[in-house]
Structure 1
Amino acid sequence: MKTLRFKSSLKCNGCVNAIKPGMQSIDGIKSWRVILDVQDKVIEVDTEDDEEKIAKAVQEAVTREGYSLEKLSD
């Protein structure tokens, strides 16, 4: 299993709830979590699927709700 990490502009649990439907609809994500108590507000996504496909789907789900997202290097 691979964990993808993204820097986001999420600020609170309300933001997390806003992206939840989009994130839960992505096929290939085993689990995901948001770490709000760090400066970069990291989203971690566990997957066994194609990393590029998952990264693109996460980008679309988060930006569709008005938040920014940047994939962090491994």
Structure 2
Amino acid sequence: METLKFNSTIKCTGCLATVTPYLDETAGANNWEVDLTNPNKVLTVKTDGVTAEDITKAVESAGYSVESIN
């Protein structure tokens, strides 16, 4: 299983609630988390075949953006 990391614009629990359905569908529930205490709001995704592009599209569909830091 690969781990992808992104800086994100997901800044609060409300943002998390918005993006959750998109990331759950793409990466699977419990396969991702956002560190809201980190200034860069790092999104970490454990993937099995999901690409960084897939995650980026999912987050953008929810109205947020990410930048890969792998």
Q: TM-score, normalised by structure 1?
A: 0.82
Conserved? CA contact 1:28–1:48, under 8 Å: no
In structure 2, give the amino acid aligned to 1:15: C
Identify unmatched segments of 5+ residues in structure 1: none
Q: TM-score, normalised by structure 2?
A: 0.86
Identify unmatched segments of 5+ residues in structure 2: none
Q: Greater CA radius of gyration, 1 or 2? A: 1
2:7 counterpart residue number: 7
Give the CA RMSD over aligned residues. Answer: 1.8
2:64 counterpart residue number: 67
Identity score, percent: 36
Q: Deviation above 6 Å: which 4+ runs of structure 1?
A: none
